[in-house]
Amino acid sequence: MPTELESLRALTTVVADTGDFEAMRAYRPTDATTNPSLILKAVQLEAYRPLLERVLRDHPSAPLVEQIDRLLVAFGCEILAIVPGRVSTEVDARLSFDTLASIERARQIIGLYERAGIARERVLIKLASTWEGIQAARVLQAEGIQCNLTLLFSLPQAIACAQAKVTLISPFVGRIYDWYKKSAGAGWDEAAHAGPADPGVQSVERIYNYYKAYDIPTQVMGASFRNIGQIRALAGCDLLTISPDLLQQLADSHEPLAARLTIDQAKAYAPAWQASNEVAFRTELNQDAMATEKLAEGIRAFTADAFKLDTLVTQLRG
């Protein structure tokens, strides 16, 4: 009998949500995605310190910003030697509200990959799903630079991404779950909000159904999982990016798994079409307390880790 991980692979593209090369080798994901927090954690481990030391040795006089980008690309190149598909590399979260700076930084990252012999088709540039980040993605996509829009918590963000023709979005399941659980406090009923009833699962399912009902080619990659029940409830989603500990739980389980999300079902119950522009985007996002708070919180957290990575590199530069 197949493991749940094997069953999931038959329904969904499995992506490793880690900067750990050994975990990627063990679980054989198709793609891999990283973020500033994962890279910061990795470079503090002895196993990965040589990557950072090599970047500083080979480019000692480069500006700090360039050294950081070279470090991200060095990680990406190592990852692409392991996975057969794509790697996501994130633009500095401090640029989340600066469209032009995000575009330039993304071009720089892609240029470094191409000089390392990596085709741009194997790289996804990650940007925050702010209005500015989405408009940067619109420009980049038109240049053939594929984008992964992250920190996405609501349908209005997803619709704006679709209109920008982004390659992939990463709606966050676990962080939505966290918000509703915290908001409910002592009144939270875990059993009543498990699996398909999980608010994070429902958000991703809503986005998936909208995209498939209207033949939107942007791929949906559920992200930020807290338990395998959330993953099971999204079986059939285009992609799911999963941490090593949850991948191991799936690999250890032989429970049967069937697709919950399907194109036919999405088309059978097509949601109403929604137009989107900047005013509608900002208004609807502002009306959604969860999405507004989690977007801001995510940017702050990634920004804090970007500063920590800067400090670490600066110290090693001497």
What is the three-class DSSP state of 189? coil
Is 126 part of the annotated catalytic residue set? yes
The DSSP letter of residue 190 is T
Residue 232 in contact with residue 253, Cβ under 8 Å? no
Spatial distance between the Cα atoms of 246 and 242, rounded to a whole number of angstroms: 6
Strand partners, 221: 239
Spatial distance between the Cα atoms of 272 and 257, rounded to a whole number of angstroms: 30
Spatial distance between the Cα atoms of 95 and 103, rounded to a whole number of angstroms: 10
Residue 82 in contact with residue 74, Cβ under 8 Å? no
The catalytic position among 126, 165, 181, 212 is 126
Pinpoint the alpha helices (H) of the chain: 4-11, 21-27, 36-43, 49-58, 64-80, 99-115, 131-142, 155-163, 173-184, 199-213, 228-233, 244-252, 263-268, 278-287, 289-317
Spatial distance between the Cα atoms of 48 and 59, rounded to a whole number of angstroms: 18
Residue 12 in contact with residue 235, Cβ under 8 Å? yes
Q: Which of 150, 157, 190 is nearest to 172 (CA)?
A: 150
Which residues are part of the catalytic machinery? 126
